[in-house]
Every structure is written in structure tokens, then in C-alpha cells.
Amino acid sequence: MKYYQGPWPENRKGVVCLTFDVDVGYAYAKGTQTWGALPKRLGLDTLVAGGLSVESRGYYGLYSGLPRILALLDRKGITGTFFIPARNMELYPQELRAIHEAGHEIGNHGYEHEAVEQLERSPAKETALLEKAQSVFRSTLGLAPVGYRSPAWDMSRGTPGRLQQAGFLYDSSLFAGDAPYRLSLYDPAVQMLEMPIDWSKDDAAYFLFFKPPVMFAQFHDPESVFRIWRAELDGVVDAGGVFTLTCHPSISGRFHRLEILERLIDHAVSRGDVLFATLEQVARHVQDRL
């Protein structure tokens, strides 16, 4: 098993990638979308479907959290990677185009936040959704994302091959390392890069709240989350890897969470050996060196 752990540009020891999944309503909505699927299987879907409560939380992310996050990154001079379900580009083109116009990378986060691991028996449907999403990005932004992040942070055995066929440079949905590796780990025919993630570096795992008894009921102390993220960042950077943090505007856009994100950025800057980069920049650096 080969990981890429440097050398990095500017002689930096390791890399920090700040990524944001801009789900708006889709992470919470009913139907085939990711988070809607579990309550449905448990027969609890009526508790989460239909009400305006969950939808309004998505709008909080879009209209309050996102501008604050963009302002923070601008203040710190950092370029991030934003994964967006393409349907959101159709619904909120003006708000989401601002991300691209600020110079950040846009990644493909499905069309309607579909749970691709559940499409194993419908490969044609999975391919069609991938292509549909890419065409929406082309028409709304004039570009096709080179990065993919599965909405459910999961995929079927066939997904890596379909991503490679669709022309993606990298995926960022799986967990098998702290540094880039190739998806050949799962399918020898697939050479695409994986930019690994982890639930411990995802704000949703600590802060995503649904009214009991449906799903999550979590309000962690941000201070303890900050300590986990800082320890992970230090460990991954010391090992020459890529610390990839995932935040959601509807979650980390809240003030008490934005504060730990800013402190984490300040900590990384203060080390003096961290390269901030987008996942695309990392993938292009690693592509011919791994």
C-alpha cells in the first residue's frame, strides 16, 4: 500500500485542506437522499419528512453560514474546496456561484445528494446522475469539477470505476489513510486518486442534531472538538500527510463553531510548516509522484 507523504511545495511538512459540503436542504430531506434513507428504513420518515424545520436549517447554511465561512477564508487568505449537490446549483445559482467567484474549488457532491452505495444494482442510474450533475456544473459555472465526494461518504464496489470513466481526477469519500492513495486498493483497474476523509474530522459527527428519537442528538463542546482536530492536524502534518477537514455551512456557520475553525486555522499557520491547498491542487501535485 503506497501513500504520498511528500515532498510538498515550498518545502512544507504537510498539507491542510479545508473542505465544505454545501448540502442546503438535501442532507435532511426525505426520499432517496442520504440522511432521509435511514429514518425511512426505520419507519420513522414521517418524523423528518415534510416539515419546514429541517429545510430551514439548510437555508441557515446557505444564507447565514456560507457568507460567514467565505469571509473567514478571505480574511485568512485560504482557498478551500466546496462540494455541492448539482441540484443546488440549479436552485441557488447566484449564492453558490459566489463560492467559485471567490476562487475556491467546486467539487461534485452528487445530483440530489443521492446515496450511491444504494445504487449498486442500478449502475446506469448512477452513471446518469453523475453525468447529469457534471452537465449542470458546466452550464452554471462553465466548468466540470475534477473532484467527487459521495454524499453518503460511501460507495459501492462499482463506483470507483464509474468515477474514473467519468473523468474525475480524484475522489474524497473513503477512509483508508491520512495521505493520498490510489483507488486501486478497491479495484485494480482504477488508478484515480483518493483524498481520504474521516468522521473524526467532520463537524456533522459532533454537531448534527435531529430531534429524538429520529437520529443524532448531539451537541458536543466545541472545545473538545477543537482538541481532537488539533491533535489530528498535528499528527497528520508531522507524518507528511494531508489533513482534510469537512465542515457544513449549516453546522459550522454557527458562531461557536466558526470560532474553533478560525482557531484551528491559526494553529496551523503558527506551525509554519503547513501548506494550505485545495484538494485539486494536492491531487495535481501527487498525480505523477505516487
List contacts with Zn ion (CB under 5 A).
21, 23, 151
**Nearest approach, Cβ of residue 226 and Zn ion (Å):** 23
- Return the C-alpha cell found at 200: 473524526
Q: Which is nearer to Zn ion, 25 or 151 (CB)?
A: 151
* Shortest reach from residue 104's CB to Zn ion, in Å: 17
Cell numbers at residue 199, please? 468522521
- Nearer to Zn ion (CB atom), residue 23 or residue 117: 23
User: What's the grid cell of residue 97?
Assistant: 456561484
Q: Which is nearer to Zn ion, 70 or 208 (CB)?
A: 208
Report how far residue 281's alpha carbon sits from residue 260's, in angstroms, rounded to the nearest whole number.
25
Smallest separation (angstroms) from Zn ion to the CB of 87: 12
> Closest distance between Zn ion and the C-beta of residue 219, in Å?
20
Q: Alpha-carbon distance 265 to 260, whole Å?
A: 9
Q: Are strands 170-171 and 105-108 parallel, antiparallel or unpaired?
A: unpaired
**What's the min distance (Å) between Cβ of 267 and Zn ion?**
26
Helices and strands (H, E) in the chain, number of each type? 13, 9
Nearest to 86 by CA among 59, 65, 61, 106: 106
Cβ distance to Zn ion smaller for residue 21 or 198: 21
Of 4 and 170, CB closest to Zn ion: 170
29 versus 225: smaller Cβ distance to Zn ion: 29
> Which CB atom, from 18 or from 275, has the smaller least distance to Zn ion?
18
38: CB partners within 8 A, 6+ apart: 215
Distance in Å, CB of 185 to Zn ion, minimum: 23
Q: Cβ of residue 27: shortest distance to Zn ion, in angstroms?
A: 5
CA 126 to chain centre: 19
Cβ proximity of 186 and 192 under 8 Å:
no
